[in-house]
Amino acid sequence: MLTYAKLKRNRRKCVALTGLTPKEFEVLLPAFTRAYTEHYPGEKTMTGQPRHRHVGGGRKGGLPEMEQKLLFILVHQKAYPLQTLLGEVFELSQPRVNEWIHRLLPILRAALDDLGVLPEREPEHFAQSEAQHKGAPGAHHRGDRAAPPATETSRKAGRRVQWQEEDAV
């Protein structure tokens, strides 16, 4: 099963699967957690009915940790795979994948809105929005990424070698 605990150790794979670096993921996680608890308060069930058991009682869901929920929906948004494939990666059935997608998309939208990094949908407001959010986490276009590191010429090999810092953001 794909887990964030394993994925955060490999920055390149994290960006490839989610579109975010581990640092950006960590910035988004608290906003996602707040949006989730607002949408689904602990004293009510997923359907909005009062709980008969304490929070955490009963059967554990397929995506128990908040990191897994966020990872799941980010992988879905980045790769948009078939639900069957997503189910294999996260060890869920296809109907459960569909359920989680519909449950988590509004949460992700609320979290991105809370951080002020929702994509602008109106072309006339784009330039204004772009100026306000320059450098905000999760705003992805070439200008937001750090410039590539300088290259050095290796005297021994006589060729150019590029040195990269692991956490350059």
133 band by pLDDT with thresholds 50, 70 and 90: low
Q: Do the Cβ atoms of 89 and 1 come closer than 8 Å? A: yes
- 54 has a pLDDT exceeding 80: no
The residue with tokens 């004293």 is: 43
pLDDT score for 99: 94
Distance CA 30, CA 10 (A): 21
pTM beyond 0.85: the answer is no
The pLDDT > 90 percentage for the chain reads 52
Non-local (6+) Cβ contacts of 6 within 8 A are: none
Strand 159-162 to strand 151-154: parallel, antiparallel, or no bridges (unpaired)? Answer: antiparallel
- What's the mean pLDDT in 10-26? 95
Distance CA 157, CA 169 (A): 29
137 band by pLDDT with thresholds 50, 70 and 90: low
Distance CA 62, CA 90 (A): 8
